[in-house]
Amino acid sequence: MRVNVFTAGGEESGKKINLNPLVFEVEPSKDAIFSSVVAEMWHLKQGSRATKSKAQVKVSGKKPWRQKGTGRARVGTLGSPIWKGGGHTFAIKPGVRSHKVNKKVKQLARKSAFSVHVKAGTLKVVEELKFETHKTSQMRTLLKNLGIGGVNSLLILKELSENILLSARNIPNIMVVSAGSSSTLDLVSSKKVILESGAVEILNNLFDKDKKASKGDSE
């Protein structure tokens, strides 16, 4: 598939670029997208939550009352989970809970997400972007020229540029990533996707490299 390449001014440059059908024209897999997004959201968790067990709460070690003869239930410690101020029965411990997804499923999920945007007409390719300074107004102008405003958008660059990153950081609904680090979660969370022409070349070859590598391993 060949698509038009736009200038930073939002006009057609007269150039066309090829989108690899193995990346941008696959049959979308909802299951692969779901599994990949769930895994990425799990990995975003801090894993810092924690509660204290019976052994960790600070209470007196003295037995509240004698074992027999009071008419009340037996109690060995004030740290019992059934008491106010006691520990948790199944105390939560810090740690990142991972959700494993196979490499091929991850690849299919990303390709599916790209293909959905292409089919919906929400993906645009622009020429190489160069910002001489880091001004928010520059990014706002770019988004306005490309007809993108007020919706969650993803700008995928060939390589991250400090000026572009700084220009976009004060705009709440734009995310800037490099071609190699774009994730399925980023793609499905965005209503519009802007691809720098250099990023298209990387994405066209990215999955082919993985395919060749796996083929080489099997040989």
- Name the token pair of 176: 């800037």
- Given a cut of 90, whether residue 99 has pLDDT beyond it is no
**How confident is the model over 26-58, as pLDDT tens digits?**
999 999 999 999 999 988 888 888 999 988 999
Distance CA 77, CA 23 (A): 62
Ramachandran category for residue 147: left, alpha or beta (phi over 0 → left; psi -120 to 50 → alpha): left
**Helices 103-120 and 30-43, packing angle to 10 deg:** 110
- Given a cut of 80, whether residue 213 has pLDDT beyond it is no
- Name the token pair of 96: 């990142």
Q: What are the beta bridge partners of residue 174?
A: 153
**How confident is the model over 117-176, as pLDDT tens digits?**
999 999 999 999 999 889 999 999 999 999 887 889 999 999 999 999 999 999 999 999
Q: Phi and psi (nearest 5°) for 142?
A: -60, -50
The predicted structure's pLDDT at residue 96: 66
The predicted structure's pLDDT at residue 83: 87
What's the angle, vertex CA 186, arms to CA 182 and CA 190, rounded to 5? Answer: 125
SS (H, E, C) 33-99: HHHHHHHHHHHCCCCCCCCCECCCCCCCCCCCCCCCCCCCCCCCCCCCCCCCCCCECCCCCCCCCCC
CATH class of the 2-44+100-218 domain in this structure: alpha beta
The predicted structure's pLDDT at residue 215: 45
One-letter amino acid for residue 86 of the chain: G
- Tell if the pTM clears 0.95, that is, is over it: no
DSSP element (H, E) containing 21: helix 21-24
- Report the 10 Å Cβ neighbour count for 193: 23
The CATH 3.40.1370.10 domain(s) of the chain lie at 2-44+100-218
- Of residues 186, 180, 183, the one with CA closest to residue 203: 180
DSSP for residue 181: G
DSSP for residue 132: S
